Amino acid sequence: MDSHGQYEPRVAWTVVGSGIGPLLLAATSEGLVNVVFHATGPVRGRALDRLAARLGAEPVEAPGTPLLTEAAEQLGAYFSGDRHTFDLPLDWSLISGFNREVLRELASGVRYGTVVGYGDLAGRVGQPGAAQAVGMAMGANPLPIVVPCHRVVESDGGIGGFGGGLETKRKLLALEGVLPEPLF
């Protein structure tokens, strides 16, 4: 129960609109645990099934949960250009080991409007030869945007891959001023 005597589900979720389409946000009592791109129909269903399997609790749609409300507000401010950092508790339970280490470094060390190469990020965590492993960590990121995997690019200037699709990555980088706005 929360401080108002209301039942809070173990895993709460909602879908919010954004500048890149609908995002599924999920939270536990520990913090925001998952952000999922393109969260309509089957994508949303698969994401909720994965959360239930991984967290051992059926996610409950609860858009009024304080953390989800705050996350939605901060994401809205990010997409309108008014927020450059996120101030949300994060639940890292969906990721561990090297991947968690890399994502924590990314979250704390790569600021809005900047990018880092896969190899450079590997070096920051003491594994200079692990650029491919960093790429795998980016693909496993359960908290995209908030943990900004879109800011990781190829050392030769290529955009690299992205779980939300390359067009989504381009839009996020354009929003942050790293790339020009798409013409159409």
Would you say 140 and 151 are in contact if contact means Cβ atoms under 8 Å apart? no
How far, in Å, CA of 138 to CA of 23, rounded?
18
| CA 160 to chain centroid | 17
DSSP string, 59-98: -EE-TT-HHHHHHHHHHHHHHTTS-SS----B--TT--HH
| Residue 23 in tokens | 């995002």
Q: Which of 27, 48, 138, 149 is catalytic?
A: 149
Residue whose token pair is 């089957």: 42
The answer to whether the Cα torsion of 71, 35, 128, 131 is positive or negative is negative
Q: Reply yes or no on whether 149 is catalytic.
A: yes
Point out the residues that are catalytic.
149
